Amino acid sequence: MSLPRCPSYYNATIKHETHYPQLEGELEVDVVIIGGGFTGVATALELSEQGISVAIVEANKIAWGATGRNGGQVTGSLSGDKAMVKQLQNSIGIEAEQFVWDLRWRGHEIIKQRVAKYGIDCDLKYGHLHTAYKPAHMAEMLATFDEGARRGMADELILVSKAGISDYLDTPLYHGGLLNKRNMHLHSVNLCIGEARAAEANGAKIFEYSQVIDIQDGEQVVVKTPKGQITAKTAVLAGNAYHKLARNKLSGLLFPASLGNCATVRLDPALAKQLNPHDLAVYDSRFVLDYYRMTADHRLMFGGGTNYSGRDSKHVADELRPALERTFPKLKGIEIEFEWTGMAGIVVNRIPQLGKISPNLFYCQGYSGHGVATSHIMGEIMAQAVRGQLEEFDLFANMKQIRLPVGEWLGKQGMALGMLYYRMMEHFR
Ligand SMILES: Cc1cc2nc3c(=O)[nH]c(=O)nc-3n(C[C@H](O)[C@H](O)[C@H](O)COP(=O)(O)OP(=O)(O)OC[C@H]3O[C@@H](n4cnc5c(N)ncnc54)[C@H](O)[C@@H]3O)c2cc1C
C-alpha cells in the first residue's frame, strides 16, 4: 500500500513537489535502486553523474521515509565511530583513526558541493552547539575539542562555558557546550528532492508509488512492483527501516525506532533571534537526547524523547512539549503547528551496514539516527561499489555486524529495554 507524505513542517514547505510516474511495464537499466530517501537518491545522483543508467523505485514519494522526517542536522558525529576504528584497526592498522575522522566530514563536503552545483534551495546553514546536560558531560566536549584542534579544526570549534551558554541560547539548561562551525542544518526534503531532480536531469529514471514486492537475483536482477518490473545488472536496497525485503538475509540486523519531531507556529523573528541568536542547530549530550533548531521561517523545530518500541507515538507534540518548554521557558504554551514521527534504523554496534545479499544485490542501511551526512557518504561508497571499486565498500562489508537471533518484535522489546538501561545509566554519568 502506498502512502502520501506525512503532515510535517518539511512537507508543508516543499519548493518543488515531485510527480514521478508509477512504474508500469518493463524497463532495463544498469542499476536499480530500491528506496528514494537520501541513501537511494545520493547513490543514484552519483551514478547518473558518471553516465550510468539508473532507476529509483520508491514505494511512496521521494523523501517519504526518515529523510523527510528528521531534524535536518548534518553532524560530524558519525554513529559507531569508536567501534568502527576498533574493527578497522584489524584491516588498515594505524590508518583507521584518520580514515574514520575524514569520513565524518565527507558527507558535509558532498552536500555542500551538490547544493552549490545544482543550486538546491534547502535553507543550508552552518553551526551546531553540542550542549552538556550535566557538568560531567563537559569532559566529552573537551575531548572532542582537543581531537578537532589536533586535526586542524581549531578555527571551527569553540568550547563554551556554563556562563557562556547565554550568548548562544536563552535557556536555563546546560553546563556548557561545544560549538562546531563546520556542522550544518537544512531542509531535508528540499535537499533530497533537489538531488532527485539533479539525478533526473542527468538521465536517471524515477518512479513513485511503486512498491517493490519481489526481487529475483541471478545473473541479472529483476525488481518487481505491482504493475511493472525493472531488469538491471545490479540492484541496491536502500529502504532502511521501512522495507521488509530480503528478510532471510537481513533479519535481526536493523531495528526500526520511532522518533518524534514537531514545529511550533512561526515565532516573531525578534523572539527567534533572542532564543537562538546565532541560528544554531542544537543537540544535548544525553544518550536519549533532545535536538532542535530554528527553521527558515522562524519556527522552533524540536525533536527527541524516542520511542524505541518501534511503534509510532500518537501524541508527539504532547510528549515533546514538556522538554521544549523546559528548554525555552519563554515558549510556554506556544502552539505546535506540526507534529510527526519517523523510523530510524538502529544498529546494535551503531556501525552502518553495507553488504551484498547476492553477487548483484547490494544493501546499505542503519545510521542509528545520524543519517543525513552518513547517507551521502554511503551513497558515494555504494556508487563506487556497483562500478566495481570495492575497497571502501569491503572495509564496511567486512566489519562484524551484530545479528540478534530474534524476530523484529522481540528485537524491538530488547531495544526498548536497552534504552531504559541507558536512561538509568544517565543518572550515573
Ligand atoms: C525523527 C527523526 C529525526 C532524525 N534526525 C536526524 C538528524 O537531525 N540528523 C541526522 O543525521 N539524521 C537524523 N535522522 C536519521 C536520518 O533521517 C536517516 O538516517 C536517513 O534519512 C536515512 O535515509 P535512507 O534513505 O537510508 O532511509 P529513508 O529515508 O527511510 O528511505 C527509505 C525509503 O525506502 C522506501 N521503501 C521502503 N520499502 C520499499 C519497497 N519495498 N519498495 C520501494 N521503496 C521502499 C520508503 O518509502 C522510503 O522512502 C533522523 C531520523 C528520524 C526518524
177 lines ligand 1 (CB under 6 A): no
> Residue 157: left (phi > 0), alpha (psi -120 to 50), or beta?
beta
**37 C-alpha to ligand 1 centroid (Å):** 6
Is residue 320 within 8 Å of 292, Cβ to Cβ? no
**The three grid cell numbers given for residue 357, joined into one nine-digit string:** 545479499
Is residue 74 within 8 Å of 108, Cβ to Cβ? yes
DSSP letter (8 states) at residue 154:
G
pLDDT at site 406: 62
β-pair partners for 66: none
Is residue 14 within 8 Å of 193, Cβ to Cβ? yes
**290 C-alpha to ligand 1 centroid (Å):** 19
User: Which of 103, 278, 83 lies closest to 177, judged by CA?
Assistant: 278
pLDDT at site 424: 58
pLDDT at site 419: 64
**341 C-alpha to ligand 1 centroid (Å):** 11
Show pLDDT as tens, one digit a residue, over the chain (429 residues).
789 999 999 999 999 999 999 999 999 999 999 999 999 999 999 999 999 999 999 999 999 999 999 999 999 988 889 999 999 998 899 999 999 999 999 999 999 999 999 999 999 999 999 999 999 999 999 999 999 999 999 999 999 999 999 999 999 999 999 999 999 999 999 999 999 999 999 999 999 999 999 999 999 999 999 999 999 999 999 999 999 999 889 988 888 888 899 999 999 999 999 999 999 999 999 988 999 999 999 999 999 865 555 566 778 999 999 999 999 999 999 999 999 999 988 888 889 999 999 999 999 999 988 999 999 999 999 999 999 999 999 999 999 988 876 666 666 666 666 666 566 556 556
Distance, CA of 97 to CA of 99 (rounded, Å): 5
Residue with cell 540486523: 253
Is residue 280 within 8 Å of 174, Cβ to Cβ? no
Distance, CA of 7 to CA of 303 (rounded, Å): 15
372 lines ligand 1 (CB under 6 A): yes
Q: In the chain, what is the greatest distance between 2 CA atoms, to the nearest angstrom? A: 64
- Contacts of 319-322 with C-beta under 8 Å, sequence gap 24+, read 319/260, 320/260, 320/261, 320/262
256 lines ligand 1 (CB under 6 A): no
pLDDT at site 306: 56
**146 C-alpha to ligand 1 centroid (Å):** 32
**342 C-alpha to ligand 1 centroid (Å):** 8
59 lines ligand 1 (CB under 6 A): yes
User: Which of 186, 205, 231 lies closest to 47, judged by CA?
Assistant: 205
User: Ligand 1: which of 18, 70, 79, 210 to mutate, judged by most atoms within 8 Å of the beta carbon?
Assistant: 70
Distance, CA of 319 to CA of 424 (rounded, Å): 19
User: Ligand 1: which of 74, 230, 243, 255 to mutate, judged by most atoms within 8 Å of the beta carbon?
Assistant: 243
Residue with cell 562500478: 387
**345 C-alpha to ligand 1 centroid (Å):** 8
Inter-CA distances, 84 with 105, 114, 367, 381, 396, Å:
15, 27, 13, 16, 9
User: Ligand 1: which of 6, 291, 302, 367 to mutate, judged by most atoms within 8 Å of the beta carbon?
Assistant: 367
**The three grid cell numbers given for residue 384, joined into one nine-digit string:** 563506487
**368 C-alpha to ligand 1 centroid (Å):** 10
239 lines ligand 1 (CB under 6 A): yes
pLDDT at site 411: 62
pLDDT at site 258: 86
Distance, CA of 116 to CA of 113 (rounded, Å): 5
- Taking the model in full, what pTM does it have? 0.95
